[in-house]
Structure 1
Amino acid sequence: MTRLRGRETSPRFNPMIRPILALLASTLLLTARAADPAAPADAQLNPQGRAILAWFQQLQASPQLRLVSGQFAGWSGTASIGELGKIHQASGRWPVMIGLDYCGWREGDKPDMALIDVRQPNELARAYWQAGGLVNLSWHAPNPSGASLKTNNLKLADVLKPGPLHDAWLKSLDTVAAGLQELQTAGVVVIWRPLHEMNGGWFWWGAQEPADFIALWRHMFDYFTHKKGLHNLIWAWGPNHGQKHADLYYPGDAYADLIGLDAYTEHINPDKIVGFDRLAKIKKPVGLTEFGPHGASNPPGNFDFRRLLDGVEKNFPQLRHFLCWNEKWNPAENHFAKEFYNDPRVITRDQVPAGLSGR
């Protein structure tokens, strides 16, 4: 009886202690994950996603300049593989990443009234994945207030409070999550790049208190990862260049996998691409999450894309990935696309390691 009483009152068998120990173990696990920038943001990221992320990390760790190439194909409803086909026609190469967006537009809508359309982006994503490429998916999210995408008329903190704004936000998240779930079911890993250029004032989520933006990002992350069970997402965070303290909006190592700057400029130097030095201190694979010559060069179509590579090598040797915007920003619409895409510093689709995509 004495031994039995001793067991009953020991911490090992005390039912009040067990939940505390479980919470402590969980806290230690989260702390360890957050402290390790190489760990996936999603602790349950699927094996193929982990392999893709590890590839980016290996490239980042190497002293050799190799850039994972990407090309935006267009908005939902109007996106076309032809944007990438232009590059193939000019250079004989395909970009590694196809860039897509879940934002679409209805004919006759007021300017910048975004809607969500997952159908066409998912079709293109599956096709490019099966061809051996990777999928980079952004989202110009509709304004929860019902105003235009570019109307900065609300506080992000209010979006996370119970009420109409929060309800509209959740409805948008549910629609997007359903599209991402389709891709997960199809085996497609997505480099997911939402809420970009948050340090600029031209989108409803932009130029607000950094803490409020971080809370919104983390809410989306938790909603998709834990509530919706999406474990095919590599989370990419991309502020705009030009602001010195873009890193204030960084959601944390436990909430991002890839980072970069959106930069529209012809001048590939620190005077024009401001803010990179602080991002480079974050230990994540860093790149140009969007790139295009400013105003598509002046006049359009005259940018020498070899300057991008030379400028990166001289001034931003830590860069490891880029995504060019479409139409007049496409390398094939400018000069020396063939030389650019055949430069050994640029990684093309045929050079993606076996097993990383659906091929």
Structure 2
Amino acid sequence: MVNENNKIAIEKYLSEIGFYSILLEFDNVKEYAVFVVYVNEKYYGKIVLNEKEDIRIKKTPAIKLDGGENCIVIEKIYGYVNIECANLLKVDRPIDKSISFQLSNVNSSNECKELMGFFKKIKGKGILTGQHCNKSTAPDVEYVKRLTGKIPAIIGFDLLSYSLHVGTNDSTWECIDEIANNRGSIEGAIEWSRKGAIITFCWHWFSPMYGEDKSFYTSNTKFDLKEALIQDSKEYIEMIKDLDAIAKKLKVLRDNNIPVLWRPLHEADGNWFWWGAQGPESYIRLYRLMYDRYVNYHNLNNLIWIWNAPDRQYYPGDDVVDIASIDIYTPNGNDGPMSLDYQSVNEIPSKGKPIALAENGTVPNLDLIEQSKTNWLWFMTWNGFLADQKWNTKEKIIDAFNHPYAINLDNLLDIK
């Protein structure tokens, strides 16, 4: 073990391919700490140490290592912990939980059931390509098409401009521009669905009250979620108005028989959005309130519910989650398979759920994903990142979308 400049390197010669866990021993955890793991210079995921846990040994999920020389680097990103020893522990090949493709909503539409059946069919046999578009005209998709000759299988949109309170005080040009270009996303989604694409939506929810500029950010609103969870409070009333306004838009998709991969209240564990800023208990209550209102009150049976706050404390329950997901922006545009992150999310639901890479900056390396048996259901590159050479070279994008493991729109139609 070599320890230098907040990095630990484990160099190991292996006689054959095998599965290994990284074993860390430390004197104690004094504060929340995050480390990233590179295997032979490729990003494999994070190790998170929480001062609330009374542990002195951390064993990571298993990763696949090739025979020959291997170098594992553990680099500190945040916090402090005194690591006394780091080593590799040979383990059995990990067995995926029995994955349930059963939908949480017993009244789910036939289109949703068929889509989940399709996901079951392709799991481990390929990865669906995806592209997020914060503009209704989807220029990112056009960029992929011109560069690679392919169209992503999943097209992602945002409902941010459909929030009731986008006209906030002190709106910057960036905010106004984003709202204006986002309008028409429902119509854009319908158009792409008619072409055979799978549709996903998130919602950067402008604060129902007390917001400025991009008020979905915690720093731009004084909206109190705890007050909003008190029935009949003024915050509650305004919040319900927002939920119902978005439900009305989702009903347009429902009435067009379009199943939606619905990823609400995303990245709540990061606390930078107001719906996650007051901790897991409030977030879970809000998630379950939304689920109940949309499923049981609005009869939105066209939604497949994607949970996207990959921290065990924030898990709202197997009964309201269909697919678990995580957003990963790998350091320095690294295109490793993110196997540790996958396994970390996989361990959270008590019943196995399909796992998706709901946001990424760098297009993943499909060779490594396939070889490492990291069964991401899809990846979804965030808008603007494909054209940024710091994150993606043109060669990397072309290779990914033309890889035999990639399921693009044309493959999607053939398989269906």
1:155-175 CA distance string (max 9 Å, x none): 433222121111111111111
Contact 1:129–1:135 (8 Å) recurs in 2: yes
Q: Are 1:248 and 2:313 counterparts?
A: yes
Write the distance in 2 (CA, Å) between the matches of 1:239 and 1:326: 20
Q: Indicate conservation of the 8 Å contact 2:112/2:304, yes or no.
A: yes
Q: Would you say the 8 A contact 2:207–2:216 is kept in 1? A: yes
User: How well do the aligned residues superpose, as a CA RMSD in angstroms?
Assistant: 3.0
Q: Residue 353 of structure 2: which of 263, 269, 284 is its match? A: 284
Q: Deviations over 1:300-324 (max 9, x none)?
A: xxxxx4x532443455612121111
- Quick check: 1:317 aligned with 2:382? no
Letter in 2 for 1:231: N
1:52 counterpart (111, 115, 130): 115
Pair 1:346 & 2:406 matched: yes
Conserved? CA contact 1:214–1:249, under 8 Å:
yes
Pick from 229, 250, 253 the counterpart of residue 160 of structure 1.
229
Name the amino acid aligned to 1:44. N
On the 8 A contact 1:159/1:169 being kept in 2, the answer is yes
Larger proportion of strand: 2
Aligned to 2:186, which of 95, 105, 122?
A: 122
The residue correspondences of 1:98-177 to structure 2 (distance < 5 A) are 98-104=155-161, 109-111=170-172, 120-147=184-211, 148-151=215-218, 153-161=222-230, 162-177=232-247
Cα gap change, 1:155 to 1:131, in 2 (>3 Å): same
Q: 2:131 aligns with which of 65, 71, 88?
A: 71
Instruction: Please give the alpha-carbon distance, in whole angstroms, between the structure 1 residues aligned to 2:251 and 2:182.
Output: 11
Residue aligning to 1:3 = none
| 5+ residue gaps, structure 2 | 1-97
Residues 182-241 of structure 1: per-residue CA shift (max 9 Å, x gap): 11111111111110000002111124322221111010011011101111001111126x
Gaps spanning 5+ residues in structure 1: where? 1-34, 241-245, 294-304
Which structure is richer in relative contact order (CA contacts within 8 A, separation 6 or more)?
A: 1
Match of residue 42, structure 1, among 105, 120, 129? 105
The answer as to whether partners of 2:218 and 2:271 remain within 8 angstroms in 1 is no
CA contact (8 A) 2:130 2:381 kept: yes
Contact 1:138 1:192 in 2 (8 A): yes
Report deviation, 1:59. Answer: 2.7
Q: Which residue in the other structure is 1:267 paired with?
A: 334
CA–CA separation in structure 2 for the residues paired with 1:107 and 1:220: 24
Match of 2:303 among 233, 246, 255: 233
1:287-340 per-residue CA deviation (whole Å, 9 max, x = no partner) reads: 2100004xxxxxxxxxxx4x5324434556121211111113458963222221
Contact preservation (8 Å) 1:116, 1:142: no
1:328 is paired with a residue whose SS is coil
Larger fraction in helix: 1
